[in-house]
Structure 1
Amino acid sequence: MQTPQKIAVVGSGLVGTLLAIYLKKLGHTVHVLDRSPDIRTVEFSGRSINLVMSNRGWKALEDIGLTEEIKKIGIPVDKRAIHLKDSKLNYQYYGKEGEAIYSLSRGVLNRKMIDLAEAAGVEFFFEHRIWDVTLADATLHIGETERGEWTDLKYDKVFGADGAFSRIRHRMQRQSMFNYSQEFLNIGYKELHIPANPDGSHKIDKNSLHIWPRGNFMLMALANLDGSFTCTLFMPFEGENSFESLKDEKTLVDFFAEFFPDTKEVIPDLVRDFFKNPTSYLVMMKCFPWTHADNVALIGDSAHAIVPFYGHGMNAGFEDITVLNEMIAKYGDDWEAIFKAYEKSRKPNADAIAELSYRNFMEMSAKTADEKFLLQKKIEKWFSDKHPDLWMPLYSRVTFSLQPYSEALAIGDFQNKIMEEVMQMENIETIWDSEVVEQKIISLLSK
């Protein structure tokens, strides 16, 4: 147990609330401050992408005894359902039998996490607008407006868990030797909705992540507990087949009839949802250092915002907490040592999952419709099942293991070079599961 301190966590999102529970259980007084209203009292704004929990996220929850509580509000997803343009449906299983990610509604999960944090004794302060922090003494400055009168709130420690546009990081950026980069993708997203059947059942398979891959744009759907699906349309902002090009009802309906014909019966409110819900942006953000002395630290998206195409934004943020907790166990009350070890461990892995997430858009939007790519994945799974000691597919390394992201990325690149050679083999389509292919992979692995 550490010496009790008064700690502020700025941001009541998923990472902030879980971190608050950890800190409270370590004996600290913990306040969570957020500029927004209590999410439990408001409706979501139609700009959500469903979350998927995988092993890294479960590890952080398991260490604090919350796994079963969260599993109750999730739906296991063991495969991709790939909807081709001709309405053909292909399935691609994620891992070994029994391995699944869990689909979770962001709003439902966030509300649950706040309830669990309050039950643990964490205090929440909503509609508290934080404009700045004095790094030297961990004092937060709040007020109604940025240029109005501020109130000072003094803490022993401040954690910035306030997202990609963090106010805590904004102050840290103004220090010398602080590196920062931000990149907006030219692809945005819009939330759509598949309602439940009249009896509350799901219209399409609830245990699949549904993808309609169409090259530089795609539609995706994940199931909710109430029988509905949260759908997300990812498209360029401008150009052909873009949000800019879908300006009226007829163009939209014709576009969906051409590219997503099998959605007509399951998305009845397409026009209403499309023109009502905002078109949202995707941003990647990197920075370093993540900490200041022994009193201020960034965590989650505040330190490493990534795009959502691997489903690991939350999982990476939860793994931040796992590593931070390990450093606390190791260094006790030496918070400067805790912070230095935490950021040194996490920075290369945050960069790696950012790269993996960026790449995965191309896999999901284009490659999943490619027969050669699907064959490659089939060969990898076949070889992995025969030789689990020699080969674990990249997706499994990232999603169903706790191997550092940076190692998974490096090994994944090595394995992909091997598969490029294998896919060049003559008649690979007919000999893919033969001893010749098996021995080829084994020989390439030994080089």
Structure 2
Amino acid sequence: MKDKITIVGAGLVGSLLAVILKKKGFDVQIFEKRKDPRKSEIAEGRSINLALSHRGIRPLKMAGVFETIEPYLIPMKGRMMHDQAGELTFQPYGKEGQFINSVSRAQLNELLIESAEQAGVDVYFDHKCTDVDFEASTLTFENGKTIQADLIVGTDGAFSAIRKQMQFTDRFNFSQHYIEHGYKELCIEPVDGKFLMEPNYLHIWPRGNFMLIALPNADKTFTCTLFFPFEGTPSFSTLKSREDIDSFFDQYFKDAKDLMPDLVDQFFHNPTSSLVTTKCEPWHKNRSILLGDAAHAIVPFYGQGMNSGFEDVRLFAEMAEAMNWDWDKILPEFSNRRKKDADAILDLALHNFIEMRDHVGDPNFLRRKKLESKIQEQYPKEWIPLYSMVTFSDMPYSEALRLGKIQKQVMDEFLQQEEDEINFSKVMERFNALKQGGWKAGQ
């Protein structure tokens, strides 16, 4: 393969793509605006743990790097809910043996950069892209360097420089939306080298309009993230003094507060960050294409941001190989085919935020989960819960969203009956009828 491929962005998606394309025999180089993360310390409060699941693991295996990453993963088999009294309730993510994996973004990024370099990829840091000529397939950087490539791939995140240049081209659609909530990260330190909570769960403190979550790290810490409105009461705008913060955490997250003696100092020191979603189309322009957050940034509430980006990489590489690496055909085909699934996971992630912060402790939600568990027990192949479709399968996100809406409608209908009156064969009959009948909302 003689084509020269230039990737802009040495984050998770760009580094993984580089490994796969280099192993296919292409001349691959990455340009990254940041300094080398292996030589600079990450800012406190910006580590952002990730939840690696099936869709992300499969491309890592495809690249031959999963074995390198696996020792850094901590399995999480479900949600551990903390109520305001500190009582715990467990909700498994899937069937016995199914789990997602907590992993440090920084650690994973470093491992993928190293894997790219070991594969022979040239990685250039401190290179900020300032201009793209989509007709000539050239990139210009802040230091004056100009690069020509046979294929340009923008994997440079939610505020992509490549996408920004596409926005100046004809018939390119772009939108972004900031949700009303921001986030602040906190840390639960180990004591005597031991975790202070059970590590194999995603801990969650659902409180209606806001929530706290905690994910375990390999160094026995927990990264906690408070998702909280910027405005209103309570909100980030109302927590101004040490007393405000103490009182707020005493009221809503007392058991978590007791594990963080330096909580108030962390709260003041660590930044408050916003959450943005983006949509654009088309994802390509001539010999340039966007992947990952550059094409479809989403909120983190389904744990699918990284996984969907990695799936972009796998599907793109598989399609490219099947089409004999004909970029002029591959780019528009991939852009068109993948767009609906990116839109679907954006919608799913926004909805899951409401479920996580508000519904997980609600009696009606728990009754729904109980019913769904019984249906799945009797019909394990026909009825797969939405979370499992998204997290433990390769089903297109758009199809998972469609089936999830049908399941919700069916359960809404049958939950009106008493539990012992529900006929599960009729539940499945109704589900299959809607599934096969060109379902539309409300039918």
| Shorter-chain TM band | over 0.9
1:329 alignment counterpart: 321
1:303 alignment counterpart: 295
CA distance in 1, matches of 2:325, 2:16: 21
Show CA shifts across 1:101-136 (max 9, x none): 110011111111111111111111111111111111
TM-score (norm 1): 0.94
TM-score (norm 2): 0.95
Instruction: For residue 249 of structure 1, report the CA deviation from its aligned partner.
Output: 0.6
CA distance in 1, matches of 2:62, 2:429: 40
2:157 alignment counterpart: 163
| 3-state SS, counterpart of residue 186 of structure 1 | strand
Contact 1:8 1:158 in 2 (8 A): yes
| 3-state SS, counterpart of residue 165 of structure 1 | coil
CA distance in 2, matches of 1:35, 1:303: 18
Q: What amino acid maps onto 1:419 in structure 2?
A: M
CA distance in 2, matches of 1:33, 1:156: 15
Show CA shifts across 1:187-224 (max 9, x none): 000010011121x2211111100110001110000000
CA RMSD in angstroms comes to 1.2
Instruction: For residue 420 of structure 1, report the CA deviation from its aligned partner.
Output: 1.0
Q: What amino acid maps onto 1:44 in structure 2?
A: I
CA distance in 1, matches of 2:404, 2:330: 30
CA distance in 2, matches of 1:326, 1:377: 36
Instruction: For residue 88 of structure 1, report the CA deviation from its aligned partner.
Output: 1.5
Instruction: For residue 6 of structure 1, report the CA deviation from its aligned partner.
Output: 1.6
Show CA shifts across 1:235-274 (max 9, x none): 0001101001111111101100000111132122211111
- 155, 164, 171: which is aligned to 1:177? 171
Instruction: For residue 378 of structure 1, report the CA deviation from its aligned partner.
Output: 2.1
Contact 1:11 1:163 in 2 (8 A): yes
Instruction: For residue 446 of structure 1, report the CA deviation from its aligned partner.
Output: 4.1
CA distance in 2, matches of 1:181, 1:13: 23
CA distance in 1, matches of 2:386, 2:152: 36
- 246, 261, 277: which is aligned to 2:270? 277
2:211 alignment counterpart: 218
Please say if 1:4 is aligned against 2:12. Answer: no
Instruction: For residue 440 of structure 1, report the CA deviation from its aligned partner.
Output: 4.2
| 3-state SS, counterpart of residue 383 of structure 2 | coil
Please say if 1:339 is aligned against 2:331. Answer: yes
| 3-state SS, counterpart of residue 342 of structure 1 | helix
Contact 2:16 2:63 in 1 (8 A): no
CA distance in 1, matches of 2:58, 2:432: 33
1:188 alignment counterpart: 182
Instruction: For residue 385 of structure 1, report the CA deviation from its aligned partner.
Output: 2.0
CA distance in 2, matches of 1:437, 1:370: 24
2:230 alignment counterpart: 237
Contact 1:383 1:438 in 2 (8 A): yes
CA distance in 2, matches of 1:114, 1:269: 34
Please say if 1:372 is aligned against 2:372. Answer: no
Instruction: For residue 143 of structure 1, report the CA deviation from its aligned partner.
Output: 1.6
| 3-state SS, counterpart of residue 360 of structure 2 | helix
| 3-state SS, counterpart of residue 177 of structure 1 | coil
Query: Any unmatched runs of 5+ in structure 1?
Result: 145-149
- 21, 26, 29: which is aligned to 1:28? 26
**Worse overlay, 66-75 or 308-317:** 66-75
CA distance in 1, matches of 2:112, 2:145: 28
Q: What amino acid maps onto 1:164 in structure 2?
A: A
Q: What amino acid maps onto 1:79 in structure 2?
A: G
Show CA shifts across 1:131-169 (max 9, x none): 11111122111125xxxxx33222222110011111101
Contact 1:422 1:440 in 2 (8 A): no
Q: What amino acid maps onto 1:117 in structure 2?
A: A
CA distance in 2, matches of 1:124, 1:216: 43
1:110 alignment counterpart: 109
Contact 1:56 1:316 in 2 (8 A): yes
Taking only the aligned residue pairs, the percentage that are identical comes to 46
Query: Any unmatched runs of 5+ in structure 2?
Result: 434-443
Show CA shifts across 1:331-360 (max 9, x none): 113111111221122100000000000101
CA distance in 1, matches of 2:232, 2:257: 24
**Worse overlay, 339-348 or 309-318:** 339-348
2:409 alignment counterpart: 417
Contact 1:137 1:156 in 2 (8 A): no
Please say if 1:392 is aligned against 2:384. Answer: yes
| 3-state SS, counterpart of residue 266 of structure 1 | coil
Contact 1:309 1:361 in 2 (8 A): yes
2:80 alignment counterpart: 81
1:147 alignment counterpart: none
Please say if 1:444 is aligned against 2:403. Answer: no
Q: 1:353 to 1:134 in 2, by over 3 A?
A: same
Show CA shifts across 1:354-406 (max 9, x none): 00001010000000121220221122122212211220000000000000000
